[in-house]
Chains A and B, each alone.
Chain A
Amino acid sequence: QSALTQPPSASGSPGQSVTISCTGTSSDVGAYNYVSWHQQHPGKAPKLVIYEVSKRPSGVPDRFSGSKSGNTASLTVSGLQAEDEADYYCSSFTGSNNWVFGGGTKLTVL
């Protein structure tokens, strides 16, 4: 199972919006509405910020939103704040009853 494709980096200024893409195939992202996004700060454990494409766990600000079109999912962070600077990973359920992660995107708040 190949990793999902994410851009290695993204950036935006405080208050701006940034969108991170996650491209898979018709066997994973395109087949299921089971795409999740995780935020990971350096040296910390990942934190779930979006699941099932667009649902937010309790406690996650509504500045975080998700969407999907075909084989590509996207995470949008609006109203960027300094604490949003982190690595972001998408993941998807696959037709092999497995899960696959993306390679990660380092988000920099300028």
Chain B
Amino acid sequence: DVQLVESGGGLVQPGGSLRLSCVASGLAFNGHWMHWVRQAPGKGLVWLSRINSDGSRTDFADSVKGRFTISRDNTKNTLFLQMNSLGAEDTAVYYCARGPGSGSGSYYVGDYWGQGTLVTVSS
């Protein structure tokens, strides 16, 4: 089965931290850009961050720059999102998505998406 499976979501207090994981199986992970995208309840998609295939290049949306860190472990086909200083505005379903292969010359956010993990920031 081709899948991306996110985990690590849950209830966290304002100001707290959370680390999300995304495990890839049945599809190429190494060699591909990876992205995190979130969706607040009833709202639209918001791009958060991306990382290149070897982890040497990362980019972030202004809304999370300095608070979120993206990383990957290619030996375990796993993508991570470390989220710090969380606020109510960070409450959302967080999706990981596979980007194009590095060097492919293609540009898109996700040809494969996980089902998402819900993060709720509340006291």
Contacts and interface: CB of A to CB of B under 8 A. Distances in A.
Nearest to B97: A46
Interface residues of B, number: 23
A99 B50 contact: yes
A101 B59 contact: no
B111 A104 contact: no
Given A1-B62, A97-B59, A91 B44 contact: no
Interface residues of A, number: 27
B113 A102 contact: no
A47 B113 contact: yes
Contacts of B111: 48, 51, 57
A103 interface: yes
A36 B47 contact: no
Given A34-B107, A45-B95, A52-B106, A101 B46 contact: yes
A1 B61 contact: yes
B108 A89 contact: no
22 contacts: A3-B44, A32-B107, A34-B108, A36-B107, A36-B109, A44-B115, A45-B95, A45-B114, A46-B45, A46-B95, A46-B113, A48-B110, A51-B106, A51-B107, A51-B108, A57-B111, A87-B44, A91-B47, A91-B109, A98-B59, A98-B60, A99-B35
Given A48-B111, A52-B107, 19 more contacts: A1-B61, A1-B62, A34-B108, A36-B107, A38-B45, A40-B45, A45-B95, A46-B45, A46-B97, A51-B106, A51-B108, A57-B111, A91-B45, A91-B109, A98-B61, A99-B47, A101-B44, A101-B47, A103-B44
